[in-house]
Each structure stands twice: as structure tokens, then as C-alpha cells.
Amino acid sequence: MKLVIATRRSRLALWQAEHVKSLLQKLGHEVGLLPLSTRGDELLDQRLDKVGGKGLFVKELENALADGRAQLAVHSMKDLPADLPPGFAIAAILEREDPRDAFVSSKFSSIKGMPEKAVIGTSSLRRAAQILERHPRLEARLLRGNVETRLAKLDRGEYDAVILAVAGLVRLGLASRIRSRLDPDESLPAPGQGALGIECLASRKDIADLLAPLADAAAATCVRAERAVSRAFGGSCTIPLGAFAELEGKQLRLRALVAAADGRRVARADVAGDATQPEALGELAAEDLRRQGALDILK
């Protein structure tokens, strides 16, 4: 059986799909790609939280799975809503790339070195809120488009710096653009950031079985905990929410936050528990955030 992978058309998405294709070919499978344009790729002048959130990047790919044009879809896990539509499943989460955020600038080596009113670009409410919490003198401004588009806008001087995912820059061979990698205490990553997931129809156990060799158990444990926090608060990118889990032996440590968009109010949780129960730990973190007024903050 020839496998067809549905993917977005951006250079990064195609890299991700080609990466999975090559892993499957090494296992002896015949694999092709089905590049598709998604609504999220087309609405480049609007904030995602205003036009429908993360689902804008996946609906067309899921349609291709549903009608049989493709058997797999490859996603960055941070782009996937926490709850998939009925009938779909994540069959494998791959080994994770560096999950941190990257500071990129031609003028400055760090956020701390930026002067008052300097403009920092990001498409993420989570990143903007954390920047403004620590550096209220800066201006966080919307920056949409693929990685190359964002870097081009930076290079044209439209922004003094931009924040991007380390993983995307590394995968595109652009790691040299990174001036600093932001520690999770400085910029808590999005749930699933740096991890690739492979989606298929929930009914296709045959597909799930052949993907099993690609799955990374440690990455899956961490991402499941992070996504459980997101799910507890609605599971979309319409809210400034970060979550980052790390395995420490048989224990799992999970840090999470929700913030007001302007960074003036932030609730943080830092919990640890049994690594075999990642969703329960995610719920524990979410409960801690609720106790600190997270729901009021998000209003």
C-alpha cells in the first residue's frame, strides 16, 4: 500500500512531511505527499485568535484523511487543537526538537538589551503576554506568515526583533539566526512545541500499527501532559497559555501559565507527579491555575 501524507504547503510543513516520509521509507514503505493550502496559511493579516484559532491549519488536512486522498497528516503538535474531531487520532508523536522560543534580531543580542518602545514581533498571545509582563517598556506587535516571511519583515526593519520557535529555525537550517534561546522560566513554550505528531483516522489501526516504530514515548508523555492543561481551558490558541513538561526519572515536572494579553496578570503552576499519568498531572496544574484566578484573567 502506498501511503500519502497530507501536509501544509509552507517550507517548514513540507520539511516535516519529508522527514516523516524518509523515516517511513527506511521502514520499507512507499510514500507520497499531498500538499494543501489551509485557511490559516491564507489569513496572514489577522490574529489567529480573531479568525478561528488552531483548527484553521488542520481542517483541510483532516478532510483529505476523511475522503481517502491521504492516510496520514503531519502536524506540529502546537498547531493542533487539544481535542481532535470525532474519528481522528494522533497515532504517533516523534522525538522532540528543542521546545524553547528563540530571540531573533539583527540589532540586539537579548530582550533585556532592547530600548524603550522597541518593537518585537510575534504571532502568539502567549509570547506577547510573557514579554510584556517582564518588559512592559517594549511594544509587542502582530507578526504572521511563515518563518521566511517573518524573517524578511525583520530584515526590512519592520520589527526590531522577533520571537520564533527554536525547532522551526533548526529544521529549516536557520539556527544561525538565533541570538538567544529563551529559558522556559523566561518564555514558557506552547503545549507541544517542538514535537511532530502524525494524525490518521481513528478506525485505521493498520496505519497506527505501522507508525508505532516512529513514536517516542518520552515526548508523548510530556506533550500529553501539556495538552491536558490546554484542554482544561478550551484547547485553542485564543488564550495566552503556556505549558512545558520534563521527565525527571519516573517523575514528570509540569510548568504552566495563563496570562492576560497585556501581561499584567499571570497565574503560574509548577507541579510534579507520576510520569505514567500525564493527563492527571495536566489537570492538577490546571486546577492550581484556576485557584489563582486563571478564569478571571482569561475573561
pLDDT tens column, 103-114:
999 999 999 999
- Look at strands 139-142 and 119-122 and give their pairing: parallel
Q: Give the chain's length.
A: 299
CATH 3.40.190.10 domain span(s) along the chain: 2-96+195-215, 101-182
- 252-271 burial by CB neighbour count: b if 16+ within 10 A, else e? bbbbbbbbbbebebbbbbeb
Residue 265: what pLDDT?
A: 96
Side-chain half-sphere exposure of 68, counting CA atoms within 13 A = 1
Confidence label for 56 from pLDDT (cuts 50, 70 and 90): low
CATH architecture for the domain at 230-298: 2-Layer Sandwich (3.30)
Burial of 234 (0-12, 13-18, 19+ CB in 10 A): middle
Catalytic-labelled residue, pool 41, 79, 101, 288: 79
pLDDT tens column, 234-277:
876 678 999 999 999 999 999 999 999 999 999 999 999 999 99
Report the CATH number of the 101-182 domain: 3.40.190.10
Q: Are 278 and 224 in contact (CB under 8 A)?
A: yes
Nearest alpha carbon to residue 160 among 106, 103, 102, 101? 106
C-alpha cell at position 129? 503576554
Is-catalytic flag, 79? yes
Give dist(CA 117, CA 276) in Å, integer: 46
Q: Are 89 and 83 in contact (CB under 8 A)?
A: no
Residue 255: what pLDDT?
A: 98
CA 129 to chain centre: 16
Nearest alpha carbon to residue 192 among 223, 234, 225? 223
Residue 43: what pLDDT?
A: 47
C-alpha cell at position 289? 491555575
CATH 3.30.160.40 domain span(s) along the chain: 230-298
- Look at strands 161-165 and 119-122 and give their pairing: parallel
CATH level 3 topology of 2-96+195-215: D-Maltodextrin-Binding Protein; domain 2 (3.40.190)
Residue 55: what pLDDT?
A: 53
The pTM for the full model equals: 0.92
